[in-house]
Amino acid sequence: MKRLFQYLRSQEAWLWIGGLIVLMLLSYLLFLGGLLSVITRHDEEVALPNLIGHSYSVVKSSLERADLEVEIIDSFYVPDKPPLTVLLHDPPAQTRVKKGRKVYLTVSSHIPPSLPLPRVRDLPYEQAHRLLTETYGFRIEKVLYVQGKEPDLVQGVLFQGKPVRESEPVPKYAYLTLLVSKGLGEKKVPFISVVGLPLPQAVSRLHAVGLRVGEIRYKKVPHLPPGQVYRQYPERVATDSVPEGTAIDLFVNGTPACSLQE
């Protein structure tokens, strides 16, 4: 025992002890830098591509081949989007993820939500049109004129050729047909489009068919000639007819001064 204590006090013993400590530290660092990285898959990350706009089936098979899991967490209807199209995903594109990570998807649904049809009977056509399209998201497919005492008032709504009552559920973005009163014996004139014409020419054409100019609104639109009509309201199809004297609002590129110079 006495010899052991004497050896421990020697320089050779301290060198051995120091070597053991260094070896233990190196082993620990090797574990952190090597074995631990294998356990946590530190070197098995992939950059997530942009999945938006692709079908769910293609996205699912691609991610599963990369050892990633897929889960749909939400869906909502988007017009003109095929069902089960990826709209959003979490994590976002270019995020580096480890294999086995779950990717959460939001996809387009098959069926649009239904909304109760608002009361539009006896409303002026323009007011009903704005309410149905801008507030509720419906689309007006066509207008049918029927007998009625007051001209240009909505008398009913058709969906897929069948009458729809007030508060009856209708799919959002559905195409509707409006039944509009033409009045008793009131003269009807063809509806025309003057979009793309200079303002003076557009006004002349409207007056020539028996329509009148309503409000004129000006806004600068790039790449269009000054004074050109770029939109009109109401926006009806060319086969429609409207009561004589119906006001057409015009949207003109530029300022009033530009239009006067045309």
Q: Are residues 120 and 177 in the same domain?
A: yes
Arithmetic mean of pLDDT, 61-87: 89
Q: Are residues 196 and 253 in the same domain?
A: yes
| Chain centroid offset of residue 148 CA | 39
What digits encode the pLDDT tens for the residues 52-71? 999 999 999 989 988 999 99
Q: Are residues 209 and 229 in the same domain?
A: yes
Q: How far is CA 163 from CA 23, 128, 160, 189, 219, in A?
A: 87, 16, 9, 26, 40
Record the pTM. Answer: 0.47
The token duo for 82 is: 């095929």
Q: Are residues 124 and 148 in the same domain?
A: yes
Q: Are residues 31 and 52 in the same domain?
A: no
Kindly tell me if the per-residue pLDDT of 261 is higher than 50.
Answer: no
What residue numbers bound the domain in which 232 lies?
188-261
Q: Are residues 151 and 211 in the same domain?
A: no
- Look at residues 75, 108, 141 and tell me which one is the last residue of a structural domain: 108
Highest averaged pLDDT of the listed ranges 18-22, 145-149, 246-250: 246-250
- Look at residues 76, 108, 140 and tell me which one is the last residue of a structural domain: 108
Residue 35's pLDDT band, with cuts at 50, 70 and 90, is: very low
CA pair distance 151, 119, nearest whole angstrom: 18
Q: Are residues 124 and 143 in the same domain?
A: yes
Q: Are residues 128 and 156 in the same domain?
A: yes
Q: Are residues 195 and 243 in the same domain?
A: yes
- Look at residues 181, 206, 229 and tell me which one is the last residue of a structural domain: 181
Domain count, the chain: 4
- Phi then psi for residue 222, to 5 deg, are -60, 150
Residue 93 sits in a domain whose CATH number is 3.30.10.20
